[in-house]
Structure 1
Amino acid sequence: MSPSLSLRVLWPLVSLAVVTEEVCGIRSSGGLGGLSVGGSVHQVDVMVSQVVENHLAGCHLVLATTENNGTLSSSILRRLLDIGQARVLVEVSKLFSQDQPVRDHLLQKLWGDGRLTCRALVLVVDSHNTHLLLRFVEASRLWLRPDIPTVVISGSSVATSILHHTSLRNTIHLLYLALENVTHMRPIVKTWLRRGTTGKDGGERVRAFQRCLYCDRGEMGVQLLQRSNLSAPNHWEDNILFSDHLDNFMGHTFRVVTLVYFPFITYDKDATHPEGPVSPLDSLDVRMLDAIAAHLNFTYEIREPWDGTWGVPLAGGNWSGIVGTLQHEQADFSLNLTPSPARMEVITHSRIYTHDPLVIVSLKPGPLPRHLALKRPFVDEVWIMVIVCTSSAGVILWLLQKVWSRWAAQRSIRLDTALFYSWGVLLQDSPGSPPANISSQVCVGWWLLFCLVVTTAYRSSLIAHLSVQSKFPPVNTFEDLLSREGWSWGGLVLWGTTFLYFNQSSDPVIQEVYKQMPTYEVEQGMDRVLSGSFSYVTVKSYTKIDIASLYYDEYGNTPIHLGATEYPVLGGNSWGFRQGAPFLSQFRRTKQRLIETGMVDHWMDDVIKIKVRQIRESRSGEGARMASEVEDGQVVLSLDHLQGVLYLLLLGYVVAFLALVGENMTFRHVARLQPSQTTMKESHAGISFSSG
């Protein structure tokens, strides 16, 4: 930090701007009235210290001056030190003589720690350097801090340029102390005179004016607060200082920018004046805006953005659409607008009041083919387990009989016979008599228990699957879209934060979905959905209206399925405000009351119900575009339900026929190899486990 610039960062949050006509003296021909240097400086620093002590105590105080000798600023600084007020001293002329990096660093540190709750700015400048003062105020970005009160001490020659300067356009509390008659300033609303004072007070008088933003029939005005003698003691304990809390905007007309986004906002446009104000219609944001306007006493005028878009970044740090309109302060605030980190760098948002996530719209899952009904009671893993266990049981039974026959010198059984026996037990039709040895009987007993459990489970599950038709799994997530074969999807026309959500997402799944997602209007997308094998990605508010009004029959049935997973688009829905808007806190408080009382949710449901009813009435007699299939509670099994077992029977006949062909071919082949053999040994017709 340059040693020529005295800057100490201490504690505060109020802007106190002190401007004097002359620094080292007061000219007799004008300026502040011809008082001696010592007397005027003493009285001014006393008044400033009284204002600070009674109204700005404990604030982080920034004292900036353009004086060359610094007589008045030094006196004010000593007075502030006497009352124990923390301060930062800035010599404005030396600040702007610094290199740009040093200057930017100092200005960043100007307002102190972010944890501060009160700040103040004191500016001391002569009339020849008013432009330098206002340049400093602009560079300090005071317009972004509307809650910082400002006190100005000056003569009439610079009053208008300071009170109406753009750098102070958002300052709510601006106090002007004039050390002479300010004849060209018109006091507005009220004039407060201290008891015992008259217009004939001796000596030079000081007049306290307060600049108010909306007091002159909703526009900026000036109020005369007090008139007293400069040489007389002054008291500033009254609550008239910094008393404007903007609870009444006195009929001020706010400029509102928005686009149609039902159920949040809708309006009618004048075809003859497309760029003029629009006429708002019943919608959620309009109801909220009317309630806030009635509470805070203001009116509004709604227009569309110049390019008809919500807002995306452009070159040079500018934005298009609604965001760009607020960025360049061509409107005071917007209605429904989704906040994003990039947008919040150029505009301010109020509290989130609702959410409108993305959802996946598809047809309800269709029924699975009935010819596989016999297989569905068990999953593939269970079927594999049953086949392996049944085959293993036959092999184990054959091995037990093989070992027993050697020990007992009895006849064993063939492997195919044991396999048929295990499968026969599973199918509840075991062939032949049970084995004679104990080890095989134990094996068969446990196998019977296993078969009892498996067949009972299969039978009950089969009844359920035949009675209630199984369906394909629904499409609920973006992962489902990518994993389903032969499936396609599309989305709503992307704009604003919906476009940013897909375009700037780092999620590979979302990137892949976006890469393969064409855009459709809502009606076109829903027609594709009804044709099957297609999903439509849209916002949930659209689905509430379109599906309820067009795709439900009189019994409440619909063919449409909404994905269970909702994808929030950034933070939610709020209103956008130009940066530094002095009325933001009042809007926030009033909206918070509407949210806490449940009015926002109630209005949203009511607006949607009214819209759905209007659409249904306009389509009276047309019916729903597609009704869902509804089955009776009592299901009678038909050939359609039992087609699986018929296919299985047909498959068995085909296998038997192929076996017959195979046997015939085998017989002929063996007959050729053994032409002398005219007869074949007869095969055993039965199965017996009894010992010979």
Structure 2
Amino acid sequence: MENMETLLFLLLTMLLMVRNCADGTYRGALAEQVGEVVGQVVEQHLSDCHLVLVDTTTQSPLMRSGLGVTVLEAWWVFFQSQPARDFLLERLWGDATLTCCALLIHLDNKISSNILTFKFLEWCELWRHPQTVVVAVGGTAGMEAVLLDQNLRNTVYALYLTLQNLTLHSLDSRQGPLHNTRLGRGGTTKEGKDAHVRVYGRCLYCNKGDAQVQLLHRGNLTSGLHGFNLFPDQMDNFWGHTFRAVTLRYMPFINYEQDGAEPGTPRTPLDSLNIRMLDIIASHFNFTYEIREPWDRNWGTPAGGGNWTGIVGTLQHEQADFSLDLTVTASRSLVVDYSRVYSNDPIVIITLKPAPLPRNLALTRPFEGEVWMSVIVCTLALGIILWLQQKVWSWAASGRSVRLIPAFLNSWAMLLMEPVETIPTNTTGQVLVGWWLLSCVIITTAYRSSLIAHLSVQSKYPPINTFQDLLNLDGWSWGSTDLQGTFFLYFNESSDPDLQAILRGIEIYEMDKGLERVMQGGFSFIHIQSYVTTEMARLYTDKFGNTPLYIGIMKYLAFGGNAWGFRKGAPFTRQISMMKERLIEAGLLNLWQDDVLKTYLKHSREERGREDPLLFTGMRVSSIQFSPECNRQRPRIHGVE
């Protein structure tokens, strides 16, 4: 009991006071004995807990046991407004200053009171708190009905204390709907010296995987319950219980036989990462499992009214126990519990590898367009400046002038490193030509070195890495498979204008058809990385790892990553999650994932290798059958065969 972590919502539930005689009143000694038994349980196991007594009479003998309790009348809850109910529910499930909470519910043998109390348990959603401890006190006749009640279906620890040779009955006075009390404790009196106490426990999976009531202790009241372990650990063995797993095929994480069966029918699991993990966990905890697809073959999207479709909806309505792979989102967390995230699978863009640039433009490729424009402008400007400078000098010195066309040609000749026949004789012109020659040396040297580099390594078109790159291309299209699950939520719930533009232009293809469309060019395929790369490796990668497809370097993370999903209140979530964490921390997942992928690809290539000879044989048979038709003599027409 001390080893239970996190908030231990304890429920000293259903102190069922079953009256065995008709006088209708508690006698003081018997009330003290009831409080004494429960007090021993609280002292030994629940001493640090916040105690709440839910009663239909407000005269529970527990109020005389010396326990500090908050009393809540069950009938009063159903006559309150919603804000008042929310406040009571907050008070019910815990005190932040204490490590745990205990809910005490007192029932008598009146049918109306019992129905009211069980209705209260349903209202407070006891099934959402699997680590809650349930302790009941009552007659032997009601023991199994209490411990096997549907409201306790997820409760790990449940006790039932029955006192024999006692007459139990209730008082009728009222003390108000919600108040605190701490009363003195009395001892065991002579009237109860021969009373015996039996402690029954609820074991979730001991009956070949089903719930079972077990006798934990039997003794007299004077000896008490000291030294007995009333809360044995029962979650290390599920006794062959069959868990229901809901999932969809998602290589390399999940794989099973696709035999065309209807959704909801069991599937035969195949080697994959999650199946390997599940087999190890099942062997450790001694349970079996069945894998099924959701009825609509969807991962899970909101369906309105707080309901979900697909895997999430299946878990929400408790039609399955857990899912092997589910992306973590804030909205899903309201209806599904998660284990630790074990994989982040981003959205990527698949295109053809960038093609080489045209060879006929190799001479212009060393410089960008802006550089070429600058060189041309500077060359033209130099010719004009040189012509004007010589014109002014010839007018001032009465010398020979230079015409405009030769000035332009001389500037181009110097750029092309060609000899110039006429050089200015004046100092100003020589300085101008000298600076231009130096500039031409720098430009031509840079051009030649860049040209050699471009001719040595073939340049390619820029790759498509982002959604913005897709939108910037004219005449380009893109697509994906049918948008489901978080893939659908990622695009539909985003306010990013780029994502909205991508969504408006997306085309829907099957995976193999989409990749085939990529191979035709002018098209990109958007999908989850792990799944699409597996199909790429299977369909378009040779044995040396060469593929014509390109994966964009930009990875778009969709929400919080992949984890296992569990139905709310599942009592086994903590045990399976901890075992799964041990596998993650041991570093086995990466090793297994690589091995699963290699095995899958090898098997796929072998299947394709067996199909090729059959295809060749079929072609040969058809050609043999067609040969007589080809060799049959045709009639001559105008002397020509």
Q: Give your verdict on TM over 0.5.
A: yes
The separation in 2 between residues aligned to 1:417 and 1:181, in whole angstroms, is 130
Q: Is contact 1:12–1:116 with CA below 8 Å preserved after alignment? A: no
The separation in 1 between residues aligned to 2:506 and 2:261, in whole angstroms, is 38
The separation in 2 between residues aligned to 1:218 and 1:165, in whole angstroms, is 17
**Residue number among 49, 70, 76 corresponding to 1:88 in the alignment:** 70
Q: Which residue of 1 aligns with 2:16?
A: 20
Q: How does 1:281-296 map to 2 (within 5 A)?
A: 281-296=270-285
For 2:308, what is the secondary structure of its paired residue? coil
The separation in 2 between residues aligned to 1:214 and 1:294, in whole angstroms, is 16
Distance of aligned partners of 1:553 and 1:125 in 2 relative to their CA distance in 1, 3 Å threshold:
closer
- Does residue 41 of the first structure (1) align with residue 31 of the second (2)? yes
Shift of 1:423: 1.8
- Does residue 135 of the first structure (1) align with residue 122 of the second (2)? no
**Residue number among 161, 165, 170 corresponding to 2:154 in the alignment:** 170
The separation in 2 between residues aligned to 1:103 and 1:14, in whole angstroms, is 20
Q: Which residue of 1 aligns with 2:361?
A: 372
C-alpha offsets along residues 305-333 of structure 1, whole Å, 9 cap, x if unaligned?
23333233224322222222211112111
When the two chains are superposed, the root-mean-square deviation of aligned CA atoms in Å is: 2.6
TM-score norm. by structure 2 comes to: 0.84
For 1:125, what is the secondary structure of its paired residue? strand
For 2:67, what is the secondary structure of its paired residue? helix
C-alpha offsets along residues 428-487 of structure 1, whole Å, 9 cap, x if unaligned?
114223222222222222221111111001011112222332211111111111111121
Shift of 1:160: 2.6
For 1:179, what is the secondary structure of its paired residue? strand
The separation in 1 between residues aligned to 2:439 and 2:262, in whole angstroms, is 83
Q: Which residue of 1 aligns with 2:578?
A: 589
- Opposite residue 315 of structure 2, the aligned amino acid is L
**Residue number among 174, 189, 203 corresponding to 2:194 in the alignment:** 203
The separation in 1 between residues aligned to 2:594 and 2:97, in whole angstroms, is 41
For 1:47, what is the secondary structure of its paired residue? helix
- Does residue 154 of the first structure (1) align with residue 135 of the second (2)? no
Q: How does 1:521-560 map to 2 (within 5 A)?
A: 521-560=510-549
**Residue number among 343, 347, 350 corresponding to 1:358 in the alignment:** 347
Distance of aligned partners of 1:140 and 1:560 in 2 relative to their CA distance in 1, 3 Å threshold:
same
Q: Is contact 2:16–2:138 with CA below 8 Å preserved after alignment? A: yes
The separation in 1 between residues aligned to 2:195 and 2:23, in whole angstroms, is 12
Distance of aligned partners of 1:272 and 1:432 in 2 relative to their CA distance in 1, 3 Å threshold:
closer
Q: Is contact 1:489–1:518 with CA below 8 Å preserved after alignment? A: yes
Q: Is contact 2:263–2:293 with CA below 8 Å preserved after alignment? A: no
Distance of aligned partners of 1:30 and 1:144 in 2 relative to their CA distance in 1, 3 Å threshold:
farther
**Residue number among 569, 574, 579 corresponding to 2:568 in the alignment:** 579
For 2:274, what is the secondary structure of its paired residue? helix
- Opposite residue 506 of structure 2, the aligned amino acid is M
**Residue number among 223, 227, 234 corresponding to 2:224 in the alignment:** 234
Q: Is contact 2:95–2:101 with CA below 8 Å preserved after alignment? A: no
The separation in 2 between residues aligned to 1:165 and 1:51, in whole angstroms, is 22
Shift of 1:20: 3.4
Shift of 1:146: 0.9
Q: How does 1:283-322 map to 2 (within 5 A)?
A: 283-322=272-311
Q: How does 1:257-656 map to 2 (within 5 A)?
A: 257-268=246-257, 275-620=264-609
Distance of aligned partners of 1:548 and 1:313 in 2 relative to their CA distance in 1, 3 Å threshold:
same
Shift of 1:561: 1.0
- Opposite residue 365 of structure 1, the aligned amino acid is P
Distance of aligned partners of 1:475 and 1:150 in 2 relative to their CA distance in 1, 3 Å threshold:
same
- Opposite residue 80 of structure 1, the aligned amino acid is L
The separation in 2 between residues aligned to 1:321 and 1:138, in whole angstroms, is 26
The separation in 2 between residues aligned to 1:332 and 1:181, in whole angstroms, is 43
- Does residue 217 of the first structure (1) align with residue 213 of the second (2)? no
Consecutive unaligned residues in structure 2, runs of 5 or more: 1-6, 167-191, 613-641
Q: Is contact 1:401–1:440 with CA below 8 Å preserved after alignment? A: yes
Shift of 1:620: 2.7
Shift of 1:100: 3.7
Q: Which residue of 1 aligns with 2:55?
A: 65
- Does residue 125 of the first structure (1) align with residue 98 of the second (2)? no
- Does residue 104 of the first structure (1) align with residue 86 of the second (2)? yes
Q: Is contact 1:176–1:209 with CA below 8 Å preserved after alignment? A: yes
- Opposite residue 53 of structure 2, the aligned amino acid is L
Distance of aligned partners of 1:115 and 1:544 in 2 relative to their CA distance in 1, 3 Å threshold:
farther
Shift of 1:241: 2.2
Shift of 1:288: 1.0
The separation in 2 between residues aligned to 1:434 and 1:413, in whole angstroms, is 10
Q: Which structure has the larger Rg? A: 1
- Opposite residue 470 of structure 1, the aligned amino acid is S
Consecutive unaligned residues in structure 1, runs of 5 or more: 1-10, 82-86, 183-200, 624-692
Shift of 1:336: 1.8
Q: How does 1:654-665 map to 2 (within 5 A)?
A: none
TM-score norm. by structure 1 comes to: 0.78
Shift of 1:294: 0.7
C-alpha offsets along residues 467-511 of structure 1, whole Å, 9 cap, x if unaligned?
332211111111111111121111122222222222222221111
| Structure that is richer in strand per residue | 2
Q: Is contact 1:13–1:116 with CA below 8 Å preserved after alignment? A: no
For 2:135, what is the secondary structure of its paired residue? strand
* Between 396-405 and 574-583, the greater mean CA deviation after superposition: 396-405
Distance of aligned partners of 1:617 and 1:145 in 2 relative to their CA distance in 1, 3 Å threshold:
same
Q: Which residue of 2 aligns with 1:682?
A: none
Shift of 1:579: 0.5
Q: Is contact 1:12–1:61 with CA below 8 Å preserved after alignment? A: no
Q: Which residue of 2 aligns with 1:55?
A: 45
The separation in 1 between residues aligned to 2:519 and 2:510, in whole angstroms, is 14
Q: Is contact 2:52–2:104 with CA below 8 Å preserved after alignment? A: yes
The separation in 2 between residues aligned to 1:233 and 1:91, in whole angstroms, is 33
- Opposite residue 91 of structure 1, the aligned amino acid is E
The separation in 2 between residues aligned to 1:622 and 1:394, in whole angstroms, is 72
For 2:546, what is the secondary structure of its paired residue? coil
Q: Is contact 1:181–1:207 with CA below 8 Å preserved after alignment? A: no
- Opposite residue 84 of structure 2, the aligned amino acid is V
Q: Is contact 1:394–1:422 with CA below 8 Å preserved after alignment? A: yes
Between the two proteins, the alignment pairs up a number of residues equal to 579
For 2:435, what is the secondary structure of its paired residue? helix
- Opposite residue 17 of structure 1, the aligned amino acid is T
C-alpha offsets along residues 108-153 of structure 1, whole Å, 9 cap, x if unaligned?
3422466864222122222221222222222222211111211111
Percentage identity across aligned positions? 50
C-alpha offsets along residues 44-85 of structure 1, whole Å, 9 cap, x if unaligned?
2223233222212222322222114x2524314xx124xxxx
- Opposite residue 49 of structure 2, the aligned amino acid is C
Q: Which residue of 2 aligns with 1:685?
A: none
Q: Is contact 2:354–2:460 with CA below 8 Å preserved after alignment? A: yes
Q: Is contact 2:263–2:295 with CA below 8 Å preserved after alignment? A: no
For 1:336, what is the secondary structure of its paired residue? strand
- Opposite residue 407 of structure 2, the aligned amino acid is A
